[in-house]
Amino acid sequence: MILTQIFNKIMDLKGEFEVLDFRIGKAKTETSYAKLVVRGRTPGHLQDIMLELYRLGAVPSEVREVEYAVAPLDHVLPDNFYSTTNHPTSIYMNGRWVKVEDLMMDKVIVVDPGSHTARCRAILDVEKGDLVVMGESGIRVEPPERPREGVGVFKFMNSGSSSEKSTLSIARRLAKDILDLKKGGGKIVVVAGPAVVHTGADEDMARLIHDGYVDFLLTGNALAVHDLEYALYGTSLGVKVSNGTLLLRGHRNHLAAINEIYKAGSISAAIKGGVIRSGIMYECITNRVPFVLAGSIRDDGPLPEVITDSAEAQRLYREALGSADLVLMFATTLHSIAVGNMLPSNVRIVCVDINASTVTKLLDRGTTQAIGVISDVGAFIPLLASELQSLTLSP
C-alpha cells in the first residue's frame, strides 16, 4: 500500500501528480514499479511534499550524493540534520549506496566517508567532529511490505491487532514460528511487565526461559521484584497467586522480598545461596540468559541489579535488540513502546496485552510491523508454553 500512501500524501498537501509509468508485478514474488511527476505551487511547497514522500519510500529519479556537516560540539547537531525512520535506509555516498547500520527511528546518521560506513546514533552519542547527515538528498528509505504469502502467526493475523481470533490458534502458530526460528539460530527477545506475575504466568514464563526460547529479557524493577516475591512467599502484590486471596500483611511482601535480596547482596547471590529457588530471575541467572532491569522513579528498592541511569539502560536495551529476529512483548505499555522505537521495521514483533490501547499506541508511534494479540497474558503465556512443549514432543 505504499503507492496509495504516496497518492494520499500528495493530495493531503494540496499538490498534484501524474503517473508516467505503472508496472504491476504479476507474481507474488514480483515487485511493482511506478514513475510519477509531482508538482507543487512553489519550489518550497514542492520540497515540503517531497520530504514526506521520501520518508514513505519514494526515490528521486536523479540521485544526488548525500550531504553531511560537522557536529560542532558533543551532543549538538548541525542545523537541518536528517531524522531517521525505523525503515531500512541507505545513503548514496562516494558514488554507491551504503546501508545504515544500527537503525532506529528518531535518531541521526553519522558517516565515515573514508571507510564507507554509516551508523544510526542518538543525540547523546554524537561527538564533536562527527559527520552528521543533512537534509534529504542521497537517502533511500525502504518500507518493508508484509509478504503476500505470510508465515505462521504473521499469515494468520492479517491485521495489526485482533481480539476476535482464537487465542489458542494464535499461540499454536506463534509456537511454530518460535521453533522454526530457533532451529535456524534466530534470536528472541522478551519484553515483559509485572502483570506476567500478577496474572499467574510466572512459572510458564520461567519455563520458556529454562527451555531455551528466550535469548534476552528486557524489563523493569517491578517484574523482578514480584517474581522474587512469588518465589519467596507465593504472592504478587500480597495476593496469593494460587487462589487470588489477599494475605494478612501481604502488602509488605514485595518490600520483604527486596530486603531479602539486599541481605544476600544481589539477586545472583540470593540464588547461589539458595534463598531463591525458582522463577523468572532464577531461570535467567542459572541458564545464563542475559537481562536488563531498567529503573524508573516509581521503583521500590530498587533491586541491586536495576540500572537507575535511564540513558545507560537505554544503551543496554539497544545492544540487546541489535541481534533480535523476533521480539515478544507481554503486558507492558511503556517498555513495549520504548522497545518498538529502538527496532528497525524488518524485525518481527508480537505484542500481547489485554488492553487494546497498548497495541494501538505501539502501532500509532510507528511500529507498524507489530502484530497485536488482545489477550490476558495469564492465559496466553501458559498456552504458548504448552504448545511449544507439544510441538517438541510430537514425532
Q: How do the domains of the chain map onto residue ranges?
A: 1-61, 63-143, 152-393
Return d(Cα 289, Cα 280) in angstroms, integer. 10
270 burial via Cβ count (<10 Å: 0-12, 13-18, 19+)? buried
User: Model-level pTM greater than 0.75?
Assistant: yes
Domain 1-61 is found in CATH 2.60.40.1220: no
Q: 295 and 302 in contact (C-beta within 8 Å)?
A: yes
CA atoms within 13 A on the CB side of 48: 13
Sheet holding 67-70, edge to edge: 67-70, 131-134, 108-112, 117-121, 96-101, 89-93, 139-141
Give me the DSSP letters along 42-71: SHHHHHHHHHHHHHHT---SS----EEEE-
How many CB atoms neighbour CB 330 within 10 A?
26
What tens-digit pLDDT sequence spans the chain (395 residues)?
788 999 999 999 999 999 999 998 888 778 889 999 999 999 999 989 998 998 888 888 888 999 999 999 999 999 999 999 999 999 999 999 999 999 999 999 999 999 999 999 999 999 999 999 999 889 999 887 655 444 566 655 555 555 556 788 899 999 999 999 999 999 999 999 999 999 999 999 999 999 999 999 999 999 999 999 999 999 998 999 988 888 888 889 999 999 999 999 999 999 999 999 999 999 999 999 999 999 999 999 999 999 999 999 999 999 999 989 999 999 999 999 999 999 998 899 999 999 999 988 998 888 888 889 999 999 999 999 999 999 887 66
Q: Do domains 63-143 and 152-393 have the same CATH topology?
A: no
pLDDT at residue number 157: 56
Q: Which helix (DSSP H) or strand (DSSP E) does residue 14 occupy?
A: none
Q: 189 and 348 in contact (C-beta within 8 Å)?
A: no
pLDDT at residue number 149: 44
Q: Which amino acid is at 179?
A: L
| Residue 239 grid coordinates | 495476593
Q: What is the CA radius of gyration of the chain?
A: 24
Report the residue count for the chain. Answer: 395
pLDDT at residue number 165: 66
525512520: which residue's cell?
Answer: 85
Return d(Cα 347, Cα 326) in angstroms, integer. 6
Return d(Cα 224, Cα 321) in angstroms, integer. 20
| Residue 3 grid coordinates | 503507492
Secondary structure, 3-state, 289-304: CCEEEECCCCCCCCCC
pLDDT at residue number 246: 84
CATH of domain 152-393: 3.40.50.10690
Task: Specify the CATH number for 63-143; select among 2.30.110.10, 3.20.20.70, 3.40.710.10, 2.40.420.10.
Answer: 2.40.420.10
Return d(Cα 344, Cα 340) in angstroms, integer. 8
Return d(Cα 373, Cα 160) in angstroms, integer. 9
Distances in Å between the Cα of 10 and the Cα atoms of 3, 7, 287 are 11, 5, 53
